[in-house]
Amino acid sequence: MPRVLCVAEKNSIAKAVAGILSGGRSSRRDSPSKYIKNYDFTFDFPFAGTSSVTMTSVAGHLTGLDLDQAHGWGKCPIPQVFDAPIVDIRTKDQQKMAENIKRECRNADYIMIWTDCDREGEYIGWEIVQTAIQASRSLQGNVFRAIFSHLEGGHILHAARNPARLDQRAVDAVRTRMEVDLRSGVAFTRFLTELLGSKVERDLGQRNNQRPIISYGTCQFPTLGFVVDRFERIRKFVPEKFWYLVVAIPNGTDTTVFQWERGHLFDRFAVAVIYELCLETSRNLANVSDIKSKPTTKYRPLPLTTVELQKNCSRFFKMSAKTSLDAAEKLYQKGYISYPRTETDSFPSNMDLQSLVEQQVSDNRWGSYAQSLLTGSTSNRFKWPRAGKHDDKAHPPIHPIVSSGTGLDNENEKKVYEYVTRHFLASCSEDSKGHSTTMTLQWGNEYFTANGIVVLERNFLDVYVWMKWETTKQLPNLNLGQEVELSSYLMKEGQTSPPNQMTESELILLMDANGIGTDATIAEHIEKIQQRNYIKKKKVNKQIYLIPTTLGISLVHGFEAIGLEDSFAKPFLRRQMEVDLKLICEGNKDRAEVVNDFITKYQEYYGLTSTKQNKLIEIYTDIKSVM
Catalytic residues: 339
- Interatomic CA distance for residues 143 and 609, integer angstroms: 46
Measured between alpha carbons, how far is residue 304 from residues 122, 355, 382, 506 in Å? 25, 18, 17, 17
Q: Is 93 in the site for DNA (CB under 7 A)?
A: yes
Q: Is 65 in the site for DNA (CB under 7 A)?
A: yes
| Strands in 26-129 per DSSP E | 27-30, 37-45, 49-57, 64-67, 86-89, 110-114
Among 118-126, 131-139, 430-438, 465-473, the segment contacting DNA (CB under 7 A):
118-126
- Interatomic CA distance for residues 99 and 83, integer angstroms: 31
Provide the mask over 489-528, with x wherever binding to DNA is found by CB under 7 A and - wherever it is not: ----------------------------xxxxx---x--x
Radius of gyration of the chain (CA): 30
- Closest among 299, 338, 306 to 321, alpha carbons compared: 306
CB of 32 to DNA, least distance (A): 12
Provide the mask over 237-276, with x wherever binding to DNA is found by CB under 7 A and - wherever it is not: ----------------------------------------
Among 115-123, 272-280, 365-373, 552-560, the segment contacting DNA (CB under 7 A):
115-123
CB of 214 to DNA, least distance (A): 8
Q: Is 37 in the site for DNA (CB under 7 A)?
A: no
- Closest among 512, 313, 461 to 398, alpha carbons compared: 313
Residues of span 454-473 touching DNA by CB under 7 A: none
Q: Is 80 in the site for DNA (CB under 7 A)?
A: no
Residue nearer to DNA on the CB measure, 60 or 452: 60
Residue nearer to DNA on the CB measure, 197 or 388: 197
Q: Is 99 in the site for DNA (CB under 7 A)?
A: no
Q: Is 580 in the site for DNA (CB under 7 A)?
A: no
Q: Please tell me the count of residues contacting DNA according to CB under 7 A.
A: 50
Neighbour-count burial of 338, counting CB atoms closer than 10 A to its CB (0-12 exposed, 13-18 middle, 19+ buried): buried
CB of 564 to DNA, least distance (A): 16
Residues of span 526-545 touching DNA by CB under 7 A: 528
For residue 259, how many other CB atoms are within 10 A of its CB? 16
Provide the mask over 276-315, with x wherever binding to DNA is found by CB under 7 A and - wherever it is not: ----------------------------------------
Q: What is the largest CA-CA distance in the chain?
A: 99
At 452, the amino acid letter reads G
Strand partners, 540: 543
- Closest among 345, 380, 355 to 460, alpha carbons compared: 380
Q: Which of 54, 189, 310, 549 binds DNA (CB under 7 A)?
A: 189
- Interatomic CA distance for residues 551 and 502, integer angstroms: 18
Residues of span 329-368 touching DNA by CB under 7 A: 329, 333, 341
Q: Is 61 in the site for DNA (CB under 7 A)?
A: yes
Q: Is 609 in the site for DNA (CB under 7 A)?
A: no
Q: Which of 145, 169, 177, 230 binds DNA (CB under 7 A)?
A: 177
Among 184-192, 245-253, 421-429, 478-486, the segment contacting DNA (CB under 7 A):
184-192
Q: Say which residues have a Cβ less than 8 Å from residue 15's Cβ, sequence separation at least 6.
A: 37, 39
CB of 410 to DNA, least distance (A): 14
Residue nearer to DNA on the CB measure, 110 or 221: 221
How many H-runs (helices) and E-runs (strands) does the chain carry?
A: 19, 17
CB 481 within 8 A of CB 462: no
Q: Is 182 in the site for DNA (CB under 7 A)?
A: yes
Measured between alpha carbons, how far is residue 283 from residues 280, 404, 480, 484, 490 in Å? 6, 66, 20, 11, 12
Q: Say which residues have a Cβ less than 8 Å from residue 590's Cβ, sequence separation at least 6.
A: 172, 584
Q: Is 73 in the site for DNA (CB under 7 A)?
A: yes
What is the DSSP track for 512-548?
Answer: HHTT-S-TTTHHHHHHHHHHTTSEEEEEETTEEEEEE
Residue nearer to DNA on the CB measure, 290 or 565: 565
CB of 615 to DNA, least distance (A): 21
Provide the mask over 8-27, with x wherever binding to DNA is found by CB under 7 A and - wherever it is not: -xxxx---------------
Residue nearer to DNA on the CB measure, 321 or 461: 321
Q: Is 388 in the site for DNA (CB under 7 A)?
A: no
Helices (H), 318-407: 321-333, 353-359, 367-375
Q: Is 217 in the site for DNA (CB under 7 A)?
A: yes
Neighbour-count burial of 388, counting CB atoms closer than 10 A to its CB (0-12 exposed, 13-18 middle, 19+ buried): middle
Q: Is 610 in the site for DNA (CB under 7 A)?
A: no
Residues making contact with DNA (CB under 7 A): 9-12, 35, 59-61, 64-67, 72-74, 93-94, 116, 118, 120, 124, 177-178, 181-182, 185-186, 189-190, 193, 197, 211, 213, 215-221, 329, 333, 341, 517-521, 525, 528
